[in-house]
Structure 1
Amino acid sequence: MPTRSLPATFMRGGTSNGLVIHRHHLPSDVEKWQPILSSAMGSPDPFGRQLDGMGSGISSTSKVCVVSKSTRSDADVDYTFVQVGIKDGSLDLAGNCGNMSSAIGPWAYNEGLLKFGGEGGRRTVSVRVFNTNTGKIILASFEVDGEGFVGEGTYALDGVPGTGSRITLEFLDPSGAKTGRGALPTGKGVDVVKLNDGSSIEATLSDVANPGVFVRAEDLGVEGDINPAKMEEQPELMARLEAIRQKGAELMGLDPTTQTIPKIAIISRPTEKDDESVNVVVRALSMQQPHKAVPLTLALNLGAASRVKGTLPAQVARSLEGQSVTVAHPTGKLEVGGVFGEDGAIKSALLHRTARVLMKGDVFYSVKE
């Protein structure tokens, strides 16, 4: 198999990292991306390590972002998110990654895809990012100076060591991001999900920023703050969660075999062990792996669902005040905000991230002739 290469930037976005690539450096036919991107990330890898590529064997670090200047009147850049299957090398373009979304504006600015007038000193700019996976606009605001994106700053992000400059992401009109059926695709705050083994469980099926399935920890017989490693040690629990996720997908009108959406999360009410600012506790799965933090779009979904009367998140959430919801995850907490109209419709979902350029150059891949 001959080895080839293409220009790429390796970036951290929020609590994820991955490759960011110019659209014109990839084949025009998306179907031809698979052997290139999977090889670059080190997949397929039956050992699950991605030792032969840029990935590191977990879903939050097996990601690729493809970006181009937009031809849309309402956007500056177009961005396609690609989740690379670790063991099978499959490409999943079904949903978006909120964490890597924070890297898109800074990368596009550094690459010269964006032009802003004004002074050349340190200042904040806003970029309209069109996510092709969900068909939604994300407004990204971040700091730049005469040399490009300013990554240094004082904003601390749980799950990421050190500090960086704050990036604000505002997901505009996020409801129905994938189903097109609004925030509650089934029209219910709570659905009874019936499983093939004859059992059933209550779940909230919500589609804000990305689709999600939310179930109560107590209904699964687990502690709400269960350690992700402990979850992996319970194959029956993991299998049950995947079965619930797939049935939830069917009820939402989604393909149950697609791993990236909907994601499933275990939610619970905070206890005396949690910070007083925490409103809801979550343990999330991504690609059938317990997440070390929480997928960003799922956190946005959870925050919005906590504000919708009758949902499970609203039932377990503690003392909600103002427009923001603080979510506790395995490595800290995350505050997500939302703007609601008088009719209760979700106008936007907002949160803060940091990002950093880790490396820039050529990424090598192998293809079969």
Structure 2
Amino acid sequence: MSSFTSVKTHAKQIKIPATYMRGGTSKGVFFELTDLPEAAQTAGRIRDQLLLRVIGSPDPYGKQIDGMGGATSSTSKTVILSKSEVADHDVDYLFGQVSIDKAFVDWSGNCGNLTAAVGAFAISNGLVDADRIPENGICTVRIWQKNIEKTIIAHIPMTDGEVQETGDFELDGVTFPAAEVQIEFLDPADDGEDGGAMFPTGNVVDTLDVPNIGSFQATFINAGIPTIFLNAEDLGYTGTELQDQINNDNDALAKFETIRAYGALKMGLIQDVSEVASRQHTPKIAFVAKPIDYISSSGKHVLSSDIDVLVRALSMGKMHHAMMGTAAVAIGTAAAIPNTLVNLAAGGGERQTVRFGHPSGTLKVGAEAVQHNGQWQVKKAIMSRSARVIMEGWVRVPAETLQ
């Protein structure tokens, strides 16, 4: 006889069209807005509950076993796309960074890496007008990034009327080569009424006082994503650290989070340090150093002569395995502006490109900075990424998710 004396009836699962894509060094679940259940087509509790369940959060085990997430900040991501409502744009791009162990989705910033996949998805799913798509060549996709209200241009290679995903472009942090996708972040800095919001304190370098920890030189910048740059040496690091050296040190992670909280306060992003707990995606925190030789996480030897500066960045409380695309924009912008910590670590002076070393290897990003009425402005930051569809079909969630 079965040990079950009764069976409780539960609501069935529902299935939602979805695409699992890699963009740059990140992966995420992509949705077309109109494919979402009606209650999740508008921002709010139901949408957040749905995305949390899709990814498998909150998970006290930190593994996201019962969802599509990969238990890292780089793989706990969601994207919602729709035909653009903004003039002269093709697609509206909304990004949700899903917390791994907490029940919230952070909508406060963009994912630069997944931006590389947005154009391809938009073309393949009819969000770009057919007369703008060449049979062969490059399709220029005009993206409106809704989280930060900025324009991004993606140049997508086309072959025989379809998005070309395979190729020989190699990106450190991604094992296999793919087709190159060039991305232009237009006017990536924040727009302040006084033109100075790129540096929210008005300075390219400040002193950040953190109670019970110390005082640090810091560059606070709003470009690509709000970012706090520190000197590696001030933190007791060399700038060549790999993930395990930081992520296995709970004291170090707690220290970084405290510094990030006080940095966010100084940037005006929060009104009290306690608020940073519900704002994990922004600001980012990174540390920089002058180039020295090191061995990347893949065993690749990175020579000091091959890079201009060393950068290590944290995302969602852990050091990133490579570099967030939005943080790369911040790095390129800060490197282009004399006397920021990034610029000084890169040798100082004016520059239009910078190649930086990260845990997985190197990355080159370009940015052109100009001064206007005494304020620095950057009109464009450019980098190359790649993207690929990994799987497409439906993702399933229990129907009770929508209640």
Q: Same fold (TM over 0.5)?
A: yes
Query: Which runs of structure 2 are paired with 1:66-145 in the superposition (5 Å)?
Result: 66-117=80-131, 121-145=135-159
Greater displacement, 320-329 / 221-230? 320-329
Q: Which has the larger radius of gyration?
A: 2
Identity %, equivalent residues: 36
Matched, 1:302 2:331: yes
Please state how far the C-alpha of 1:76 moved relative to its aligned partner.
1.0
Please state how far the C-alpha of 1:121 moved relative to its aligned partner.
3.5
Q: For 1:312, which of 341, 345, 353 is the aligned residue?
A: 341
Alpha-carbon deviations, 1:254-310, whole Å to 9, x = none?
133311010001111102453413111111110001111011111110111112122
Matched, 1:278 2:307: yes
Match of 1:361 in 2: 393
The one-letter code sitting in structure 2 at the alignment partner of 1:132 is K
Q: Which runs of 5+ in 2 are unaligned?
A: 1-9, 271-275, 295-302
Query: Which runs of structure 2 are paired with 1:1-369 in the superposition (5 Å)?
Result: 2=11, 3-26=13-36, 27-31=40-44, 32-117=46-131, 121-176=135-190, 182-197=197-212, 199-255=214-270, 256-257=276-277, 258-273=279-294, 274-318=303-347, 323-341=352-370, 343=372, 344-366=376-398, 367-368=400-401, 369=403
Please state how far the C-alpha of 1:223 moved relative to its aligned partner.
2.1
Distance 1:85 1:117, change over 3 A: same
Residue aligned with 1:360, SS: strand
Tell me how far apart the structure 2 counterparts of residues 245 and 319 of structure 1 sit (CA, whole Å): 25
Tell me how far apart the structure 1 counterparts of residues 371 and 126 of structure 2 sit (CA, whole Å): 40
Residue aligned with 1:340, SS: strand
Residue aligned with 2:336, SS: coil
The one-letter code sitting in structure 1 at the alignment partner of 2:394 is D
The one-letter code sitting in structure 1 at the alignment partner of 2:175 is P
The one-letter code sitting in structure 1 at the alignment partner of 2:43 is V
Greater displacement, 170-179 / 69-78? 170-179
Distance 1:123 1:86, change over 3 A: same
Please state how far the C-alpha of 1:117 moved relative to its aligned partner.
3.0
Tell me how far apart the structure 2 counterparts of residues 177 and 326 of structure 1 sit (CA, whole Å): 26
Alpha-carbon contact 2:284-2:313 (below 8 Å) kept: yes
Please state how far the C-alpha of 1:17 moved relative to its aligned partner.
0.4
Alpha-carbon deviations, 1:30-62, whole Å to 9, x = none?
112111111111111100000111111001000
Distance 1:118 1:233, change over 3 A: closer
Greater displacement, 95-104 / 112-121? 112-121
RMSD: 2.0
Alpha-carbon contact 1:42-1:53 (below 8 Å) kept: yes
Residue aligned with 1:30, SS: coil
Distance 1:24 1:279, change over 3 A: same
Please state how far the C-alpha of 1:183 moved relative to its aligned partner.
1.7
Greater displacement, 341-350 / 99-108? 341-350
Tell me how far apart the structure 2 counterparts of residues 219 and 120 of structure 1 sit (CA, whole Å): 51
Tell me how far apart the structure 1 counterparts of residues 351 and 317 of structure 2 sit (CA, whole Å): 34
Normalised TM-score (structure 2): 0.87
Residue aligned with 2:362, SS: strand
Tell me how far apart the structure 2 counterparts of residues 334 and 4 of structure 1 sit (CA, whole Å): 41
